[in-house]
Amino acid sequence: MNGLNVSKRTIGVDFTASEEARVQLWAPEAKEVELLIPGKNKTVSLTCKEQGYWMAETNHLQPGDLYYFELDGKKQLPDPASLSQPDDVLGASQALDISSFKWEDGSWQHFPLKEYISYEIHIGTFTSEGTFAAAEKKLDYLVDLGITAVEIMPVAQFSGSRNWGYDGVYPFCVQHSYGGAQGLQSFVNACHIKGLAVILDVVYNHIGPEGNHLAEFGPYFTEKYRTPWGNAINFDDAWCDGVRKFFIENALMWFRDFHIDALRMDAVHAIKDFSPTHILQEIRQEVDLLMQQTGRKHYLIVELDLNDTRFINPLSKLGYGMDAQWIDEFHHALRVTSGQEKTGYYSDFEAIESLAKSYQDAYVYDGAFSEHRKKVFGIKTENPGEQFVVFSQNHDHVGNRMLGERTSQLVSFEMQKLLAGAVLVSPYLPMLFMGEEYGEKNPFQYFVSHKDPELAEAVRKGRREEFKAFHIEGEAPDPVSEETFERSKLRWDSVDQEPHKTMLSYYKKLIALRKSQSPLYVLNRKEVSVEYKKETQVIILRRQHKMQDIICLMNFSKQEQPVDVPVYASLWYKLLGSSDQEWAGPKDMPDRFSGELALTLPPESITLYSNHYE
């Protein structure tokens, strides 16, 4: 009874061609289950099948109707697999026929993961309106920037209208204030028409606190483990089969019914599962079956705070089969190298040296002793560059600062350009955080809209405690205040003003080079070499492909620095210089120079040279 059918929904409410509702609920310890339709004053009894699944087929429930479940004659509860919560997390569920959406993306050709240049957005703060419909209007801007994939922070229904999304309590339900299921489908459809892939951030390591009814339906959680955010999800304890199916079905739904191209799974290191087949492996297997049926390609990307290639190795090599992972270590090394503080977990990273190692080896800690962790950490990786996602900013590393300052508030204009270049010349998949491409000045702060006063106060207290580890003085912005949320929205009117206009043009040039120069877009880590001088804070990154070489000269110091360029070619031609006056810099670098000559690098600059003239 718990068998999966990858071609259609088999939990929650689904509709047949004749609009008959098929209802299935997993409640293994219930003695009686009824479906209540208040608007029609109807009650439908469900029949218990195998392994705790209750089922019914009825014509009484139609698309648009509100409904509840009632277990053992007790209180009315929304559907755990609800697709719509128009009256927030405590209200009734709404029946939807998500198969009724008219897709226009039939000609969409999903491209290889190695071509991803991602752009992370939070729907609520990406535009002033905070909806999918408003975000659709910005897609031409992203295409013009050179982005190939839009990554959406979690949209599972949460309490209220303000949240990062990691407090979602209905994994199948798209946040109503953003535009709901149809709003997301329309957004994905529009992205595909414009040639953009869509990555959706999902959370399979915990469920948010307010409106979380899962435990009342069954043993969705286990006391065997804990996560930093509460009880761990039950992937390997008694009755775990129903829980596993619930989340596997969720992954399949996004791909099949919403045409999502890739999932980014939040903090998978916090998923505890000692089953013979890890839940991530099983998701991989079922997604592979779906791809065989549909012919569409889908990727699984994980946020992983473990330097463990088991997660990204293929199933054939006894791995979990994830296609790629975020590597925060690149960010940490880049941040410290740019001169920012070495507090908390940043204390493990050395300026220049750690960044050079990340360029060469992906993981900074690949079997070395971590002073912050007080243990040897990580293993070496030879996995290809397209399995690693890198960035200079993301929602976590901006929003988890006490004041939510973006890089534009922490470093100089010249350093911002250097950081952008450092990411986009890496042999990995680059990701931008919304607004960084024009130097957005508004912060991105942590915000929630919990209605429970005790929970709201607990969140405030938790934020204060969190910053003690970083020895930060002062008071964190109130995460419950609407002002904190409004303050975090992008200021699109600044895009056409200086220096934002120049920064945007610079990003466009960098991305265009990334796409057009084969040494940059071919992510063969064997064709990467790095030299560095810690005393001068200079890194020379060499990218090769076939007969073309590109050297990336990065000076992270605040002084001019001489550099001896290795003689890979008799003549070098400039592709880009961040210090050039074209980009409001202090000094034009030579358009060409002999490989036997020394160069002087401007402070906080990156210059790219190629041995091919174009």
Which residues belong to the active site? 266, 303
pLDDT at site 579? 98
Using alpha carbons, list the distances in angstroms from residue 220 to 29, 232, 530.
12, 9, 48
**pLDDT reading at 167 higher than 50:** yes
For residue 182, pLDDT over 50 is answered with yes
pLDDT at 470 over 70: no
Peptide linkage before 314 cis (omega within 30 of 0): no
Identity at 565, one-letter amino acid code: V
Give the residue from 222, 206, 298 showing the smallest Cα distance to 254.
298
pLDDT in tens, 495-529: 999 999 999 999 999 999 999 999 999 999 999 99
Average confidence (pLDDT) over 394-417: 94
Helix, coil or strand: residue 596: coil
pLDDT value at position 400? 86
How far is residue 209's CA from residue 361's CA, in Å, rounded to a whole number?
39
Q: Give 234-269 pLDDT, tens digit per residue.
A: 999 999 999 999 999 999 999 999 999 999 999 999
Residue 14 pLDDT greater than 70, yes or no = yes
| Pair 125, 113: CB distance under 8 Å | no
Tokens of 299: 């990727």
Give the residue, 461 or 142, on which the prediction is more confident: 142
Q: Reduce the DSSP state of residue 513 to 3 states and report it.
A: helix
CA 75/CA 243 separation, integer angstroms: 22
Report d(CA 242, CA 28) in Å as an integer. Answer: 9
The predicted model gives 176-194 an average pLDDT of 98
CB within 8 A of 49, min separation 6: which ones?
1, 55
The per-residue pLDDT for 1 is 39
Cα dist from 302 to 43, 316, 358, 505, whole Å: 42, 19, 18, 31
State the CB neighbour count (10 A cutoff) for residue 443: 18
- Kindly report the pTM of this predicted structure: 0.96
State pLDDT tens for residues 527-556: 999 999 999 999 999 999 999 999 999 999
Secondary structure in 3-state letters for 105-136: CCCCCCCCHHHCCEEEECHHHHCCCCCHHHHH
Give per-residue burial for 314-345: e unless 16+ CB within 10 Å, then b: eeeeebbbbbbbbbbbbbbbbbbbbbbeeebb
Residue range 56-100, pLDDT digits in tens: 999 999 999 999 999 999 889 999 999 999 999 999 999 999 999
CB 303 within 8 A of CB 267: yes
Name, in order, each residue with C-beta under 8 angstroms of 393's C-beta and a sequence gap of 6 or more.
331, 406, 407, 432, 433, 436
Q: Is the pLDDT of residue 566 over 90?
A: no
Q: Among candidates 118, 151, 143, 606, which has minimal Cα distance to 390?
A: 118
The pLDDT, as a whole number, for residue 458 is: 85
Neighbours of 198 (CB within 10 A): 22
Q: Cβ neighbours of residue 74 under 8 Å, at least 6 residues apart?
A: none
| Number of helices (H), then strands (E), in the chain | 15, 31
CA 242 to chain CA mean position, Å: 27
Residue 437: which of 407, 402, 411 has the closest Cα? 407
pLDDT the model gives residue 595: 67
Cα dist from 356 to 37, 156, 344, 371, 474, whole Å: 61, 38, 21, 19, 35
Place 473 in a pLDDT band, splitting at 50, 70 and 90. low
Q: Which alpha helices (DSSP H) does 232-276 contain, by range? A: 240-258
For strands 33-37 and 42-45, give the pairing: antiparallel
Mean pLDDT of the residues in the chain: 94
- Mind listing the pLDDT tens digit for each residue in 24-51? 999 999 999 999 999 999 999 999 999 9
Residue 3 has what pLDDT? 65
- Helix, strand, coil percentages (3-state) for the chain, rounded to 5, are 30, 25, 45
